[in-house]
Amino acid sequence: MAEITLAVAFVALVVLAWAAWRIATLERRLKDPVATVAPLLEEKHRAMLTDLHLGLTQQGDRLGRNLADSSERLSAKIDERLDRIAGKVDERLDEGFKKTNDTFVNVMQRLATIDEAQKKIESLTGSVVSLQELLGDKRSRGAFGEVQLEALVRNVLPSAAFELQFTLSNGMRADCVLRLPPPTGMVAVDSKFPLENYHRMFDREADEAGRAAAQKQFKADVRKHVDDIGGKYIIPGETSDGAVMFVPAEAVFAEIHAYHPEVVEYAIGKRVWIVSPTTLMAVLNTARAVLKDVETRKQIHVIKDALVRLSLEFARFDERLRKLADHIRQAHEDAERIQVTGDKISQQFQRIEAAELEEKPSANVVRLESERKPGG
């Protein structure tokens, strides 16, 4: 708008300057003091000024109209651009709100999952604390080991191959005895859980001397358990010459075998085998295989008799199959003979049919034909 106004003003100034120059030229030419010409020149001067004013007015009106049209078009374009920008801004805002909403929903789902996991962790923490409280008491530890031992034995062996809480002839009660075939015989299994000093060995709050003392006492506890099992549950003539010490914790078992080999050798010398849940499972599977082999050997005569009867039946089957094959072969030969006979009969029928079609002419027909011949 400002540029257009300056242009109009500049054009007006140029026109005015040109008119002034033109008038000045006319005045110089008409300086001759002729009284009669002066009014005429003044009238022409006024007419030129009037025309110039009218032209300037019309030019200003046209410029104003053009400026108004340009302003309207410019305003329309600006409005159109603003509408487009507003539409894009609304679209971007909608997309941003949608993404924000999706992110918020995902965050809420994650928070719900985290909350559920936190509840499970709290429940697990409570269970661990309860288990620690349970294992803190010696009687509770013993009961825990006996229950675990019973579950393992029941899952692997048949009920006739073991007995729980069995009392031996010396009055001692074993947690479990395995009834294996000779020469092994009956094997006693007793659960032991040396846990207190094991925990003290790894107590971070204890000093080095305290952990060393706990380690020493831990080995002493294991040796005492080995002595108890070897003295109570190995009876010559009643049990086998060895017994099993069941340690319910894999970590305790690994500690014994990995870092205290002298204790393991001491137990072997006492004919006591230290096992964990995993190794006891292997022992029980071996015992089950032995029991199965023994039962198979006991039933071998039954299997032999069954095989003999099966052999006789198979011989009868073979004989009857041969007879059936002979009958089938004889039937096949008879069928071939019948086929040959049928072919001969068919050929006879064909010859008979051919004889009827090719019948010989009679004597009268021959005589008549000979009379018809010339010279006959």
Q: pLDDT digits over 156-181, tens only?
A: 999 989 999 999 999 999 999 999 88
Q: Which domain holds residue 148?
A: 140-298
Query: Which position has the higher pLDDT, 367 or 217?
Result: 217
Q: Is residue 58 part of a domain?
A: no
Residue 258 sits in the same domain as residue 160? yes
Helix axes 250-259, 261-269, angle to 10 degrees: 90
Q: Is residue 371 part of a domain?
A: no
Query: Which position has the higher pLDDT, 108 or 276?
Result: 276
Does 300 score more than 60 pLDDT? yes
Does 40 score more than 70 pLDDT? no
pLDDT at 241: 92
pLDDT at 134: 42
Residue 185 sits in the same domain as residue 269? yes
Residue 112 sits in the same domain as residue 216? no
Residue 275 sits in the same domain as residue 325? no
Does 11 score more than 80 pLDDT? no
pLDDT at 368: 44
Number of folded domains that form the chain: 3
pLDDT at 90: 75
Q: How confident is the model at residue 204 (pLDDT cuts 50, 70, 90)?
A: confident
- Specify the range with the lowest mean pLDDT, choosing from 3-7, 77-81, 186-190: 3-7
Does 126 score more than 50 pLDDT? no
pLDDT at 74: 74
| Domain final residue pick, 82, 115, 136 | 136
Q: Is residue 110 part of a domain?
A: yes
pLDDT at 268: 94
Residue 352 sits in the same domain as residue 271? no
62 Cα distance to chain centroid? 81
Neighbours of 275 (CB within 10 A): 17
Q: Is residue 34 part of a domain?
A: no
Residue 223 sits in the same domain as residue 328? no
Query: Which position has the higher pLDDT, 92 or 247?
Result: 247
Residue 203 sits in the same domain as residue 331? no
- What lies within 8 Å, CB to CB, of 195 at 6+ separation is 135, 141, 249, 252
pTM of the model: 0.48
Q: How confident is the model at residue 334 (pLDDT cuts 50, 70, 90)?
A: confident
Q: 147, 232, 247, 245: which is closest to 189 by C-alpha?
A: 245
Cα 162 to Cα 177: distance, rounded to the nearest angstrom? 6
Does 311 score more than 70 pLDDT? yes
275 near 229, Cβ under 8 Å? no
pLDDT at 273: 94
Range from 27-36, 66-75, 262-271, 324-333 that averages highest in pLDDT:
262-271
Q: How confident is the model at residue 206 (pLDDT cuts 50, 70, 90)?
A: confident
pLDDT at 365: 45
Query: Which position has the higher pLDDT, 31 or 52?
Result: 52
The residue-averaged pLDDT of 328-335 equals: 88
Q: What is the mean pLDDT of the chain?
A: 78
Q: Is residue 324 part of a domain?
A: yes
Range from 120-129, 233-242, 296-305 that averages highest in pLDDT:
233-242
Q: How confident is the model at residue 303 (pLDDT cuts 50, 70, 90)?
A: confident
Q: Is residue 348 part of a domain?
A: yes
- Specify the range with the lowest mean pLDDT, choosing from 90-104, 125-139, 283-297: 125-139
- What lies within 8 Å, CB to CB, of 340 at 6+ separation is none
Q: Would strands 173-179 and 186-191 be described as parallel, antiparallel, or unpaired?
A: antiparallel
Residue 168 sits in the same domain as residue 280? yes
> Long-range contacts: 253-257, Cβ < 8 Å, 24+?
253/279, 255/198, 255/201, 255/218, 256/222
Residue 259 sits in the same domain as residue 320? no
Range from 91-105, 123-137, 214-228 that averages highest in pLDDT:
214-228
Residue 329 sits in the same domain as residue 276? no
Q: How confident is the model at residue 187 (pLDDT cuts 50, 70, 90)?
A: very high
| Domain final residue pick, 95, 112, 136 | 136
Rg (CA), the chain: 64
Q: How confident is the model at residue 264 (pLDDT cuts 50, 70, 90)?
A: very high
Q: Is residue 240 part of a domain?
A: yes
pLDDT at 305: 81
Residue 155 sits in the same domain as residue 235? yes
CATH, residue 157: 3.40.1350
Query: Which position has the higher pLDDT, 102 or 162?
Result: 162
| Domain final residue pick, 255, 272, 298 | 298
Q: Is residue 41 part of a domain?
A: no
